[in-house]
Chain A
Amino acid sequence: MDPTLESPEFIERLRQGDQAAFGQLVKAHHNMLLATARTMLSSADAEEAVQDGWIAAHRAISKFEGRSLLRTWLTRIVINQARMMLRKGGREIQFDPTDEQDALAHRFRDGGHWDHPPQHWDLSGPDALLTRDELRHCMEKTLGKMPDNQRLVLELRDLQGMDFDDICNMLDVSASNVRVLLHRARARLFELVDHFQETGEC
């Protein structure tokens, strides 16, 4: 991400209604916002949520006070649009973790030590595990099947690198709940990669 897109000068241009600056903002952030919205909505609905988000952002930009990053502010707007659309359809994302076990729980003995420890993954070289196409494909599938609450938290934290506390604030969810959801999402992916290393299959 271009750091000038968070600079005070750029923000001032936006606040003054500079349309070229707003265009730069759209260009830089649209796909990222779409990825966020898609964790909660169908592709078509996600497009709509992001477009509505831009309209809302354009209206509010003159009052943007720079208390958060622009990127965080935009993400919060789009998440709110997406949640509003869900509510209209009578749906809602629940952030209270269910009492499911995480994907790695079965790999420990009763005493809490590894029963089935992680495989060794080949992390470097031309055939490094994590770069292999079959595994990328399996990952996409796992990401697609993940519960929305886990997928969203993973998207914000690990794919977009947002600050953990910002995520708790923008979702209005406690840090401990976000922690649990993030752990479950990561455990699913770890289990997937480890299983692939062992069997060559998803």
Chain B
Amino acid sequence: MLKCKHVVAKADALVDGAPMTRRERFALRLHLLMCHHCRRYIRQLRALLSTLPRETDALDDARTQEVLDRLNIPQDR
């Protein structure tokens, strides 16, 4: 029988959808069926990871041009 500590250690692979043996997956499912603390841990971990502050903005045109200007592209193009 898996212990909560092991479930928490394996939770990362679970939320990442990493490959797991059938036996591992079954043991996890069985534990989660019975343990609401671990169910809560996994639910909240997923929510947490989906709200981390991401850097997704595009660079503005002026800065883009600055980067391009410093590439030393031959002038004959």
Q: Which A residues form the contact surface with B (CB < 8 A)? A: 1, 17, 19, 22-23, 26-28, 30-32, 34-35, 51, 54-55, 58, 104, 108, 111-114, 117-118, 120-121, 123, 130-131, 136, 139-140, 143, 154, 157-160, 164, 179, 182-183, 186-187, 189-190, 193-194
- A–B Cβ pairs within 8 angstroms, 22 of them: A1-B56, A19-B68, A22-B71, A23-B65, A23-B68, A28-B59, A31-B56, A31-B57, A32-B56, A55-B72, A108-B3, A112-B3, A118-B41, A130-B47, A130-B51, A131-B51, A143-B53, A159-B53, A160-B54, A164-B16, A190-B45, A190-B48
Pairwise interchain contact B8-A104, C-beta atoms closer than 8 A: yes
Q: Which of A34, A58, A190 contacts B55 (CB 8 A)?
A: A34
Q: Are B48 and A159 in contact (CB under 8 A)?
A: no
The number of residue pairs between A and B whose CB atoms lie closer than 8 Å in the complex comes to 110
In the complex the two chains form, is B12's CB within 8 Å of A136's CB? Answer: no
B23 within 8 A of A: no
B70 touches A55 (CB 8 A): yes
The answer to whether B21 has its CB under 8 Å from any CB of chain A is no
A145 CB to nearest B CB, Å: 15
Residues of A within 8 A of B22 (CB): none
Chain B, interface SS category: helix
- Tell me if A's interface is mostly helix, strand, loop or mixed: helix
Q: Does B33 count as interface, using CB distance less than 8 angstroms?
A: no
Contact residues in A for B18 (Cβ distance below 8 Å): 164
